[in-house]
Amino acid sequence: MAINWFPGHMHKARKEIKKVMPQMDLIIEVLDARIPFSSENPLVPTLRGDTPLIRVLNKRDLADPAITEQWQEWLERERGVRTITLTHNQRNEAMGILKLAEEMTPDHDRQKSALRVMILGIPNVGKSTIINTLAGRPVAKTGNEPAVTRAQQAIKLPDNILLYDTPGFLWPKLSPEACGYRLAITGAIRSAVLDFEDVALFEADYLIQAYPEQVKARYGLDQLPVDGLALMDAIAAKRRFFARGGIPDLHKVSEVLLNEFRNGTLGPMSLETPDMVEQEAREAEKIEAEKAARKEAGKGKRKA
Ligand SMILES: Nc1nc2c(ncn2[C@@H]2O[C@H](COP(=O)(O)OP(=O)(O)O)[C@@H](O)[C@H]2O)c(=O)[nH]1
Ligand SMILES: [Mg+2]
């Protein structure tokens, strides 16, 4: 899937982060708890070095608690990484980030110098909401902010902590392909990038196998449809969503599926597990290896 994120912005963000990151004592990456892998920013692992990293699994209220636990364990296997889960407007809990930051920087004397902390994450994961909760006042715009944050701002927090907002626009990774679909389901990337009904179909297929009981209960189905398309047809029939000629109105069904997932009506659900992404990584590796092998074989032929 070739999606061209704003290349100019990306280049600028990379340059700025590369410059600023080494000056930081700690990094906070905000992730969407429903897609902790897909909502990662690919710059973080490449530019972090040894800087301690707190990964916040945010929007916990929308994610499957058992799977969120699996993710915490999986993410914390990486050196220098700790995790915390969060849901909006819980100031006490959010302050737990600062406590964790203290624990992770035992050699830093905050009487002498401020602890410099950078918060980053792809759009819409809830960074601004967290910044405001930590600051105890609205310092960052939430919701429909422009993609590019203007001047780098530092916010003074208790215990001599300086919080730096992300410089620039951070894009998500889009491969394997499933990452793009999951990002679209949560609303992190605009549906203009991927076909709206394809995104809903991806969701429907996933729901059938991951949350069959919730799907049956929500849409009043006695039997589990065999696949995503059958589920979409069943919803159309139940809700009488028919287009001209009596065919199922899949656009309307798509809206229902996506909205009800995004606002939590379907219940707390996660879109990926550590096992799933490991499996997908193995498959992607295999495909890459096959590609490389074919390329080698091609070279050999040309030489001969
Ligand atoms: N359900 C839920 N929504 C949240 C949570 N935190 C933020 N949001 C919503 O997610 C959207 C994006 O939040 P924002 O802080 O602007 O994200 P940013 O783009 O990363 O700065 C807003 O509509 C918030 O109200 C949360 O914990 N749970
Ligand atoms: Mg923001």
Q: What is the pLDDT of residues 144-160, one digit of tens each?
A: 554 334 445 689 999 99
Task: Determine whether the shortest distance from the Cβ of 87 to ligand 1 is under 6 A.
Answer: yes
State the closest ligand 1 atom to the C-alpha of 62, by its place in the atom list counted from 1.
1
Q: In terms of domains, do 234 and 157 share one?
A: no
Model pLDDT, residue 11: 81
Q: In terms of domains, do 199 and 99 share one?
A: no
What is the tens place of the pLDDT at every residue in 22-59?
A: 999 999 999 999 999 999 998 898 899 999 999 999 99
Model pLDDT, residue 146: 44
Q: In terms of domains, do 19 and 130 share one?
A: yes
- CATH code: domain of residue 229: 1.10.1580.10
For residue 183, being part of any structural domain is answered with no
For residue 293, being part of any structural domain is answered with no
Query: What DSSP designation does 118 have?
Result: E
For residue 288, being part of any structural domain is answered with no
Q: In terms of domains, do 30 and 115 share one?
A: yes
For residue 199, being part of any structural domain is answered with yes
17: pLDDT strictly greater than 90: no
With contact defined as beta carbons under 8 Å apart, do 120 and 44 qualify?
Answer: yes
β-strand partners of 155: 163
pTM greater than 0.75:
yes
Model pLDDT, residue 144: 57
Residue 255 belongs to what domain range?
Answer: 195-262
Task: Determine whether the shortest distance from the Cβ of 133 to ligand 1 is under 6 A.
Answer: no
Identify which has the larger pLDDT, 1 or 31.
Answer: 31
For residue 276, being part of any structural domain is answered with no
Distance CA 107, CA 109 (A): 6
Model pLDDT, residue 63: 98
- Residue that finishes a domain, picked among 226, 246, 262: 262
What is the tens place of the pLDDT at every residue in 81-138?
A: 999 999 987 899 999 999 999 999 999 999 999 999 999 999 899 999 999 999 998 8
What is the tens place of the pLDDT at every residue in 169-205?
A: 678 887 788 999 999 999 988 756 789 999 999 999 9
Q: What is the rounded average pLDDT for all residues in the chain?
A: 90
Counted domains in the chain: 2
For residue 3, being part of any structural domain is answered with no
State the closest ligand 1 atom to the C-alpha of 132, by its place in the atom list counted from 1.
15
- CATH code: domain of residue 133: 3.40.50.300
Pocket test for ligand 1, best of 84, 88, 139 (most atoms within 8 A of CB): 88
Those residues with Cβ within 8 angstroms of residue 241's Cβ, 6 or more apart along the chain or in another chain: 235, 248, 249, 252, 253, 256
- Adjacency order of strands within the sheet including 53-58: 81-85, 53-58, 26-32, 115-120, 161-164, 154-157
Task: Determine whether the shortest distance from the Cβ of 62 to ligand 1 is under 6 A.
Answer: yes
What is the tens place of the pLDDT at every residue in 255-289?
A: 999 999 999 999 999 999 999 999 999 998 999 99
For residue 37, being part of any structural domain is answered with yes
Query: What DSSP designation does 248 have?
Result: B
Q: Which two tokens stand for residue 15?
A: 């340059």
Q: In terms of domains, do 221 and 92 share one?
A: no
Q: What are phi and psi of 20, to 5 degrees?
A: -85, -35
Model pLDDT, residue 65: 98
Q: In terms of domains, do 232 and 158 share one?
A: no
pLDDT interval class at 4 (50, 70, 90): low
Model pLDDT, residue 150: 47
For residue 174, being part of any structural domain is answered with no
Model pLDDT, residue 104: 98
